[in-house]
């Protein structure tokens, strides 16, 4: 079994074998001794059941292994920090998710592959948030007025006419003006070539 260098370095720092670290981690996550042993020591699968049981007992009876299991149980409990039913959990937004990913990444050993992967997930998530924000800002929304006297076109036309000292339109006259302006606008477009 070829694991990441961060796990190997962690085992070296703790002064234990990589297999013992894996077994202790699995047991701290709720695996039975037997299941954790099978996963942590795949090379022992060729041995007889009695030999496997003897090796497992030899490992688990050592005080150093028991202390390692307790230490890993505490460490993993702090990392997981999950309690309660899934129904009781509130969904979190992308910003909170990004913060949690960043916290977890900062706790990981420097230079580890897992830490790099967590920072990549953080970058991807923040990039998606930025893109969604930009898209939302690019969209223009138009609202049609409920009443003719609230029409922005009418307001703009009347403001223009006030500047030129011309006659302003009443709201009820706007429809007639638009109907007469459509053919004129089409002629102007054809002339301009658009």
The model's confidence at residue 12, banded by pLDDT at 50, 70 and 90, is confident
Q: How far apart are CA 137 and CA 119, in angstroms?
A: 27
130 has a pLDDT exceeding 70: no
Which of 151 and 18 is assigned the larger pLDDT?
Answer: 18
pLDDT at 116: 84
Over the stretch 162-175, which tens digit does the pLDDT of each residue have? 999 988 888 888 77
**Which H, E and C letters describe the chain, residue by residue?**
CCCCHHHHHHHHHHCCCHHHHHHHHHHHCCCCHHHHHHHHCHHHHHCCHHHHHHHHHHHHHCHHHHHHHHHHHHHHHHHHCCCCCHHHCCCCCHHHHHHHHHHHHHHCCCCCHHHHHHHHHHHHHHHHHHHHHHHHHHCCCCCCCCCHHHCHHHHHHHHHHHHCCCCCCCHHHHHHHHHHHHHHHHHHHHHHCC
Whether residue 141 has pLDDT greater than 80: no
Express each pLDDT in 76-102 by its tens digit: 777 665 555 555 566 677 788 888 888
Q: How far apart are CA 149 and CA 41, in angstroms?
A: 81
Comparing C-alpha atoms, which of 25, 31, 33 is closest to residue 6? 25
CB count in 10 Å sphere of residue 52: 17
Which pLDDT does position 162 carry in this prediction? 92
The pLDDT score that the predictor gives to residue 87 is 57
Percentage of residues in the chain having pLDDT higher than 90: 6
Question: Where exactly are the structural domains of the chain?
Answer: 1-89, 92-141, 148-192
Instruction: Read off the pLDDT of residues 24-76 as tens digits, 9 standing for 90 and up.
Output: 888 888 888 888 888 888 888 888 889 989 999 999 899 888 888 888 888 77
The CA distances from residue 94 to 117, 159, 194, in Å, are 18, 45, 44
Average pLDDT over residues 173-184: 83
């Amino acid at each position: 079994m070829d694991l990441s260098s961060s796990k190997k370095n962690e085992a070296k720092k703790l002064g234990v074998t990589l297999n013992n670290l894996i077994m202790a981690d699995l047991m701290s996550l709720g695996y039975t001794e037997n299941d954790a042993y099978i996963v942590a020591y795949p090379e022992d699968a060729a041995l007889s059941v009695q030999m496997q049981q003897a090796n497992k007992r030899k490992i688990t009876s050592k005080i150093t292994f028991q202390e390692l299991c307790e230490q890993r149980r505490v460490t993993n409990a702090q990392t997981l920090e999950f309690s309660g039913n899934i129904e009781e959990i509130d969904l979190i937004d992308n910003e909170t998710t990004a913060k949690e990913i960043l916290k977890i990444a900062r706790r990981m050993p420097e230079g580890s592959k897992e830490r790099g992967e967590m920072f990549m997930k953080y970058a991807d998530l923040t990039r998606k948030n930025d893109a969604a924000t930009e898209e939302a800002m690019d969209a223009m929304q138009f609202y049609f007025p409920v009443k003719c006297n609230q029409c922005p076109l009418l307001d703009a036309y009347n403001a223009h006419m006030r500047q030129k000292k011309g006659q302003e339109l009443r709201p009820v006259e706007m429809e007639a003006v638009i109907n007469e302006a459509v053919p004129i606008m089409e002629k102007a477009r054809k002339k301009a070539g658009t």
